[in-house]
Structure 1
C-alpha cells in the first residue's frame, strides 16, 4: 500500500569527516540543552548545527537558528563535507545496543516514502498523538528544503521476509560505516544499490500500511511543507522530492525490536481524589500492598511477573506501594461497545480510561498538559520522585509487546498515546534527504 523508493542520500564524506561518531546525534526533540552544548563541542560539522541550532539574543528574521542551519548545510556541501550519493540507494542501519540485561541488534531501512494523508491508510500513526503541527519545524523546512532526521516507522512483515533479506545483507557485506555513537551503541550502515534487492525490500516494506513509531509531528510537518510548496508552485510534479519523506523502516518481525514502558507521573493529586480512587479501585482490581521502602523490589518483581492479567503499579506520596491487577472481565463490563477488544486490556488503556478518566476523574485537557502529566522509562526514578514528593503519584507499567502493536495495527486501530517507547531512538546524521527538485 505504501510507496517506498530508494533515493540519493546526502552523506558525510569520510575523507572530510574522519570520525563519524562525532557528527551523529539522537532526534532533535530528545536533546537537552546540556547535550546540545556537548554535541556542539564534539565536532564543527556535528549534525546538531542543522537540526537544533543555538539561539542568541540577537536572533531576528534574517539571522536565527533556521537561517544558520541553512547556511551550514549549504557551506558543508560546497566544502565537500556533505556529498550527494551518486546512486539511488536504500541505507540499511544496524544498531547494536544493551537493553533489559541483554545485547540486541535492530535493523532499519532508510528510504523515501511517498507522503499521503493518514486518511488514505497507507501511512498511519501507531498511537494517538498530541495535537498540532510543529510550526517551528515547518519554518526550518522552508529554509533548508531537506530531511535531516528519519521518521521511525514499522511495517508488519508478516512472513519475516524483509527482515531476513536485511539480515542477509548484514551477514554477507562489509558496512560502509561502522562507529560507536554518543550512547555507546554500535552503528553500522550499508548502501543497498542492487536493483533486485531494492525492489524486493521496497515491495515487502510497503505491501501493507506503514505505522509511524516515532516522529508523527515530523510526518505532519512534511505534509504541511509539501502543501506549502504546492501553493507556491501550482502543478508541483508528482515525482518532486518533497512528495517523499525520509523514513527508517523497521520490521515488526525483528527480534531486536525493543519496547520500553513509558511510566506516568502526576504533578498533583488532591486528598479527596486520592481517597476516592483508593475507595473505588477494589471494585475493579485485586490489590496487594508493599512497604514503600522495604518492599520496593518485591513490588517491581511482582509487577513484572504478572503476565496473566493486566497489572498497574501505583505509588502515591505517603502511601504504601500498590500492585493493582485487573479483575477478570472488569474492562469488558465497563467499556464493552466503547473500546475495541484489541485495545481494552492494554496496560495503557487500563491506566488511561479506567484509572485516569473514570476513577481519578481526569480530563482530556489534563492528558495534554505536560506540566501535569510526565513520562519516564525508568521505574525506579519514578518511585524516587514520588517518595521525595517531587511527584504526587506514579504509575508503573509493563512494556507493550510488539504482538500487541501488530494486533492493534492489523485491526486498523491506534493505541493510546505514549503506549510505547521504542529503544533506542533512531540515529540522526547517517543519511539525509534533499527536498529540492534540482538536487
Structure 2
C-alpha cells in the first residue's frame, strides 16, 4: 500500500536557472503519447535510443547551451515561459528562505521510482512547471529577446503552435540570472519530479544531478488557467454528506439540477448522485480553502465511506461515475492562484489533486541529457 503523502524538502534561494543543450523531438512527435515509449524500459539503453533517433532525424540537439523562451498556444490560450536547468543543490530550513514552493504533498515511493528511472536514463524527460509574478525588469528583458525572430516555430502533432527563442548571449544570460535569483516560484505541475530531483541530488551523482529541468511561467504576463478537480466518493450517499455537514454546522440546501450547477463557485460545493442535488455552503476562515474543509472536516465526519475517492478533471467525467446508491460526486469550485499562494505562504499544503494548472507544455519540446554536462569518458 502507498505510504501517506509527505511534504517534499525545500530548495533555498537564490533561484538559479542555468543554460543547457536542449534535445527536442521533431514536430510530428511533440505531444504524441506514443513518443513516451522512447523512455520505456530498459532505461539504461536510452542513450543509444536517443542517438538512433538523432541519426534518423527524429530528434534534434541544440549545438550549445542556452536558456529558452518557450511560447505555446493551446485552445486559444497562449503561455510563455523561461526554460532552463534549475539548481536544487541547497536546502531551506525557514519558510522565508524557500526558492521553490510546492503546494501538494508527494508519495515517497513514487518520487524514489522517478529518481531511479532518471538516474538510469541520465535524462530529464521534460520540465516541471513553475509559476511566479516575475519582476517587471525580467518581463521587459524577455520581451526584448522576443523581438528577434524565433529560433524555432513548430506546429506539433496536436496542432498546437510553438515559438522558441534560444538565449545564448552571455550578458543576457547573466542579466536573467540576476533578475531570477531573488524570486520564488510555485510548483504548478511536477511535484513528484521535483522531489525526484532532490533525491538524485542527495545521491551525490555529480554536478549534472544538482540540477533538474524547469519552465517558469510569469503569471502576470501569460497566466495559466487554474481549474478544479472534482471528487467521487464511492460508498457514500448524498444524505451521508448532508448529515455530516449538519453535525459540523455547515449549511446545506437541496436544489434542482439547474439551481445547484448555477451556484457552484467560491465557498459552495455541489454534491450529487445525479438524482439528488445538494449545495454545501462553506464559511472559510482566514486562508482556508474549500478542499481543506472537504477533506479535513466533511469526509472524516461521514457515517458511511468513502471506500475510495477518485479524481476527475471535468464535472462530466465525475457525474458519469455516479448514480443513486452507487457513490456521490462532489463538484468543486476552481481555486484561485492567490488562494494557492496564501496557503503555501502559511506553510501548509493543499489536499491531494486539488488544483489543475493548464495548459501544460507538450512532451518532447524540451529534454535535458546529463551526458551533455558530463566529461567524455573517452
TM-score (norm 1): 0.72
Partner of 1:96: 73
Partner of 1:49: 37
- The answer to whether the 8 Å contact 2:15/2:184 transfers is no
Distance 2:156 2:343 in 1: 33
CA apart distance, 1:149: 0.9
Partner of 1:207: 182
1:256–1:360 Cα change, 3 Å: farther
Aligned mate of 1:21, from 27, 31, 34: 27
Aligned mate of 1:384, from 317, 320, 326: 320
Partner of 1:348: 291
Q: After the TM superposition, which of the residue ranges 255-264 and 134-143 deviates more from structure 2? A: 134-143
CA apart distance, 1:82: 4.2
1:423 and 2:358 equivalent? yes
1:289–1:197 Cα change, 3 Å: farther
CA apart distance, 1:401: 0.8
1:176 and 2:176 equivalent? no
- The answer to whether the 8 Å contact 2:131/2:188 transfers is yes
Distance 2:58 2:159 in 1: 24
Partner of 1:111: 84
- The answer to whether the 8 Å contact 2:20/2:84 transfers is no
CA apart distance, 1:313: 1.0
Distance 1:375 1:123 in 2: 26
Root mean square deviation, CA, Å: 2.9
Distance 1:280 1:216 in 2: 32
**SS of corresponding position for 1:418:** coil
Aligned mate of 1:222, from 197, 200, 207: 197
Partner of 1:4: 16
CA apart distance, 1:118: 5.9
Distance 1:184 1:355 in 2: 43
**Mind listing any 5+ residue stretches in structure 2 that lack a counterpart?**
1-12
Partner of 2:241: 277
Partner of 2:10: none
- The answer to whether the 8 Å contact 1:312/1:395 transfers is yes
Q: Deviations over 1:329-357 (max 9, x none)?
A: xx54xxxxxxxx32x2x121122112212
Distance 1:409 1:203 in 2: 25
Distance 1:435 1:414 in 2: 31
CA apart distance, 1:119: 4.6
1:168–1:126 Cα change, 3 Å: farther
Query: In the TM superposition, what are the counterparts of 1:23-42 in structure 2 within 5 Å?
Result: 23-25=29-31, 36=33, 39=34
Partner of 2:269: 312
Distance 2:170 2:304 in 1: 56
- The answer to whether the 8 Å contact 2:89/2:201 transfers is no
**SS of corresponding position for 2:281:** strand
1:68–1:152 Cα change, 3 Å: same
1:147 and 2:124 equivalent? yes
- The answer to whether the 8 Å contact 1:160/1:251 transfers is no
**Mind listing any 5+ residue stretches in structure 1 that lack a counterpart?**
27-35, 40-45, 54-63, 231-235, 333-340
Distance 1:21 1:388 in 2: 47
1:213–1:427 Cα change, 3 Å: same
Q: Deviations over 1:293-346 (max 9, x none)?
A: xx2x44222214xx4xx11111136x511111124xxx54xxxxxxxx32x2x1
1:49–1:23 Cα change, 3 Å: same
Partner of 1:268: 235
Higher helix proportion (structure 1 or 2): 1
Distance 1:408 1:252 in 2: 17
Partner of 1:126: 103
CA apart distance, 1:402: 1.3
Distance 1:161 1:257 in 2: 21
1:126–1:254 Cα change, 3 Å: farther
Distance 1:163 1:413 in 2: 29
Distance 1:396 1:203 in 2: 43
